[in-house]
Structure 1
């Protein structure tokens, strides 16, 4: 049986992966350009944000709206056993890749759980349950299982499954 994670972000047990992994462009939501893979200049040594209490006023309204749906803390705590990219710089690239994959996992799970509220025919319900199992493997996640998740076509299977639900919405 699949174990469904908590989708609530817990920044206190993350390593600011969103502040490292994501890029943003100067504009209405962000005051500066920041490429993916470089830490935000507002990121403090303890992974806190120097602008946290005034993000929107400082031009970072996009940060106030972002939600990783719990993917960041899962990567840090589950996949990398509490390690972080600051203490071990060689982990930055694999953590960024794992974060991208885990975001796909969590986004897919949320869609599949929402689809569970639909009155689906048996064949679609069985497919939905199989996709949930693929998005929440019994043994949890590590770098290898995340890589397999992407390589085995699970995201493509989900993308093909979702449009077939239109008739049941």
Structure 2
């Protein structure tokens, strides 16, 4: 059986990965433009947000509604053993790559868990379980295994599998 990770964001155990990885476009959801890969200027020295607690009032509704589904803390704690890009700048690019990959993994897990509620034929259920094993391996992820996963056929297999479920929704 697949090892389903905690899919709840835990910002206290993350390295503010969404605040560096994601791009912001000034508008209804963000008060500023910020390119992907650069830290948000609202981050404080402890990787907390200067506007936390009143983000929406400061024009950062997008930050309030963003959900990484636990990918941030998994990357920070499991793959980088609690280290941060702020403490060790050399890990910034690998950490951001891992965050993007882990977000894909967690998105896939979420879809496969929703599909579990459907009344699928045995062959589809077997395919769903095999995909879940690929997305949530028992031995977890390393930087290398996560990078290999992104290049594997699993993401394409999921993309091919999901449309097959239309008749069961």
TM-score, with normalisation over the residues of structure 2?
0.98
Partner residue, 1:58: 58
> What SS does the corresponding residue of 1:107 show, helix, strand or coil?
helix
Within a 5 Å distance, the mapping from 1:119-134 to structure 2 comes to 119-134=119-134
Within a 5 Å distance, the mapping from 1:84-123 to structure 2 comes to 84-123=84-123
Paired positions, count: 169
Alignment partners' CA distance in 2, 1:78 and 1:122: 34
> What SS does the corresponding residue of 2:24 show, helix, strand or coil?
coil
> What SS does the corresponding residue of 1:25 show, helix, strand or coil?
coil
> What SS does the corresponding residue of 2:95 show, helix, strand or coil?
helix
Shift of 1:167: 0.7
Shift of 1:79: 0.8
Alignment partners' CA distance in 2, 1:53 and 1:140: 33
Q: Structure 1 residue 80 and structure 2 residue 80: aligned?
A: yes
Shift of 1:62: 0.5
> What SS does the corresponding residue of 2:164 show, helix, strand or coil?
helix
Partner residue, 2:15: 15
Shift of 1:99: 0.3
Alignment partners' CA distance in 2, 1:92 and 1:102: 15
Alignment partners' CA distance in 1, 2:128 and 2:81: 30
Per-residue CA deviation, residues 60-94 of structure 1 (Å, 9 max, x unaligned), is: 11000001000000000111111110110011100
Partner residue, 1:24: 24
Q: Structure 1 residue 164 and structure 2 residue 164: aligned?
A: yes
| Residues 17-26 or 148-157, more deviating | 148-157
Shift of 1:49: 0.3
Shift of 1:151: 0.7
Partner residue, 2:138: 138
Shift of 1:156: 1.1
Per-residue CA deviation, residues 16-70 of structure 1 (Å, 9 max, x unaligned), is: 0000100010011001100011000001111110001111111111000001000
Shift of 1:6: 0.8
Misfit runs of 4+, over 4 Å:
none
Which blocks of at least 5 consecutive residues in structure 2 are unaligned? none
Alignment partners' CA distance in 2, 1:18 and 1:58: 18
